[in-house]
Amino acid sequence: MRTSALAALLAALALAAAGCGGDGAGGGGSATDALAETAENLGAIESGDLSLRLVVSSDGKDVGFELTGPFALAEEGKLPVAEVEYTQIAGSEEQAATFISTGEKAFVEIEGEVYELPDEQVEGLRGAGVADGAGLGVLEIDDWLVEPELSGGDDVGGDSTDRITAGLDPVALANDLLALIAQLGGGSPGSLEGRSAEQLESAVESANIEVLTGKDDRILRRLVVEADLNAEVPEELRERLSGLPGATFELRLELQSPNEPVEVDEPTDAQPFPGR
């Protein structure tokens, strides 16, 4: 479990690294403008307290993962600052590991034991983060929503938001999720096109999508997608979902304290990484 959990954790951590870019401007405008700014500003997120859940449920079986905790992207030549717990969900079984990084050293906690990670395990997280188009940048949320509407939203972590609701483009959503899942598994993302795309559109029985965006800065605070599919899910997507025949999708992403400072203390009880 230790090797697989570490590999999955380091891959999942990259999802928190949205790259750089965006000017953080926001406020006012139409629903379309608010959504476009929010999507563009995914690249302006450099730190925050992240909660990300992607789960597929069918016949009482859940498959997916959760990622929670504070993070700050790496400065040049350094590691990120983070204390992020990754939980892999497979039915009644869950595997968890926590990545801890001070910016100078990195550790992993698995099954109650803390290990200092060697450089070769975390070298890809050093410096400027992940490449363009990776991390949260794969979620092109402005392509998912059809005919968005803007209204007042809830407070998230003390920040005022606007709510964007809309119809769902399931093909755009599915292709982004396939890319995200591929990042976690290190495989090819694939995509739904032609007949497969038509099948998915027909398979969606119901769908709800909600985006909460900062009222003043248009930075994403919460994204919730729920969709019910029947058994006619395209084969490409079904294979990625462990063969589940009809399913309920839940994607929930919440970000609190965006771009606020993050500090993580070095563990005092770390052991050398196994095999070193």
Class of domain 2-256: mainly beta
Give the pLDDT of residue 133. Answer: 43
Q: Which long-range contacts (CB under 8 A, 24 or more apart) does 36-41 make?
A: 36/142, 37/213, 37/218, 38/141, 38/142, 38/164, 38/211, 38/213, 38/218, 38/219, 38/220, 39/140, 39/141, 39/142, 41/217, 41/218, 41/219, 41/220
Domain boundaries in the chain? 2-256
pTM, entire model? 0.80
Give the pLDDT of residue 188. Answer: 58
Give the pLDDT of residue 18. Answer: 39
> How many residues belong to the chain?
276
Distance CA 154, CA 152 (A): 7
Q: Across the 276 residues of the chain, what is the mean pLDDT of every consecutive 10-residue run?
A: 50 47 58 92 85 83 87 83 89 83 91 89 64 57 91 93 92 80 58 80 84 94 88 60 65 92 93 78
Which residues lie closer than 8 Å to 93 by C-beta, 6 or more apart? none
Give the pLDDT of residue 16. Answer: 47
Distance CA 13, CA 72 (A): 11
Give the pLDDT of residue 200. Answer: 80
Tokens standing for residue 224: 């919730």
